[in-house]
Structure 1
């Protein structure tokens, strides 16, 4: 039996420009991106919020792959929208517009049928909301979270409290250094593991990612291609 993975995060609409083209109002947000990846291996349960303008039909390809959006609330108001630009360095995103819409009042409510999920991923949202989710689920086997520089700066005490309650965390190299004040990534990972998580994934953009545990270090390089279009 394949167990479901619960993800709580943003369900958004993105408009993106790159040197190779542009796309307007495509599905985005941390919960959608996580579900698109995880659904290759497991059923996914999504908790989030969208506005009454969200094109729910665009989620059908994910539904067909076993993603359950029963936990996504449709609220009165506009959906979360982000517009950004990437130049030739695709590691650097330039934010042109952010409209939080109904996401600004998002308070996760985990449906009863999702509360026994053995695996929980807390998308990149306010650590206070991530902690609230952990108060609603029942003894998951593994909890992982993501975070970013904004929360490290503005919600550091809550983020440190969250670290005590999760098994794994993902963040990029700059965020790892910012959180730990350690330039060396091995030392940064050890600092994080000393505060709770036993698995730390540090993302390196186009170069791949590191995974640290108390007993091991694993590096997964990115696969080089001549042309990559997202």
Structure 2
């Protein structure tokens, strides 16, 4: 099934204890599309400025991403600058320049309106709702959000959550949205807003999936090389949604497999700055790391 993503394409400048990268390719939709492209056909909707180089478009084309929905406008592309300390779970934002992204109003090409699977990346929840009005009959809809929208547009966000099947957010955002600390209570509250599935990303501690009946916990893979966690959450979402789109099912087994594939893609993403690790990544490496996750969590019955 084809997969539609609506989000941001950006230039990132990132500093970590292990190095620095300036004006590199980033953005939620970029990381998501790249990760998902290993599993399924991806249709990208975003906006860039006139300064966006052809080399980045060539990269997306090489990955098989359909970017007919990538709008180019006069002005500068969205820019983000951040820094990480040795506690890599959270970035300190140093500068945000929305530029052309500030007036972004997603308009889907006609060829995108039949998308079976939709992912609404981290954008204004009012825009997320508007995108859903443009899609005819999606079989599966998931979204992401952040504390800015949780605090600033809560009513619109709750309305959006009533229209989606899956919400994917990090633990801090989940706690803020629910107004609870305990993640079991958090899940119960958020699922009452409408989503059938809640996935809570926990960085180096893995991910949790709740559906109201069962809970699934996936670890993060211990890695020797971790350079840049930027985009890890979006890569997780791309792997997760990409696999579900490829599989065509939302049963318990498929959802758990998708969580692991999301974790696999996030684990590769952090091994280099920007999308550099994805430039050489193969499906064989992905499948091998999936087996590593299986070995990491397997134990015999007592």
Report Cα offsets for 1:201-223 as digits up to 9, x if no partner. Answer: 00101111101112211111100
Shift of 1:55: 1.4
Q: Which has the higher contact order (CA 8 A, sep 6+)?
A: 2
Residue 110, structure 1, aligned to residue 108, structure 2: yes
Provide structure 2 residue ranges, at least 5 long, that are not aligned to the other structure: 228-271, 273-302
Distance 1:12 1:55 in 2: 12
* Paired residues for 1:111-150 under 5 Å: 111-150=109-148
Q: 1:137-196 deviations in whole A, cap 9, x for unaligned?
A: 011000000000000000000000001100000111111111111111111111111111
In structure 1, how many angstroms separate the alpha carbons of the residues matched to 2:57 and 2:187?
Answer: 36
Partner of residue 69, structure 1: 67
What is the distance in 1 between the residues matched to 2:61 and 2:157? 32
Tell me the SS of whatever aligns to 1:26.
Answer: strand
* Equivalent in the alignment of 1:11: 9
**Residue 191 of structure 1: which of 164, 189, 192 is its match?**
189
Structure 1: segments with no counterpart, 5+ residues: none
Structure 2 residue aligned with 1:37 = 35
* Aligned-partner Cα distance in 2 for 1:143–1:103: 23
In structure 2, the residue matched to 1:47 is 45
Q: Which has the higher strand share?
A: 1
CA shift, 1:61, in A, is: 2.5
Aligned residue pairs total 228
Q: Which moved more, 1:216-225 or 1:52-61?
A: 52-61
Moved more, 112-121 or 176-185: 176-185
Query: TM-score scaled to structure 2, two decimals?
Result: 0.74
Q: For residue 62 of structure 1, report the CA deviation from its aligned partner.
A: 2.6
- When structure 1 is superposed on structure 2, of 83-92 and 43-52 the one drifting more is 83-92
Work out the CA distance in 1 between the residues paired with 2:137 and 2:169: 24
Per-residue deviation at 1:38? 0.6
Query: For residue 176 of structure 2, what is the aligned residue in structure 1?
Result: 178
Give the corresponding residue for 1:202.
Answer: 200
Q: What is aligned with 1:226?
A: 224
Give 1:23's aligned residue: 21
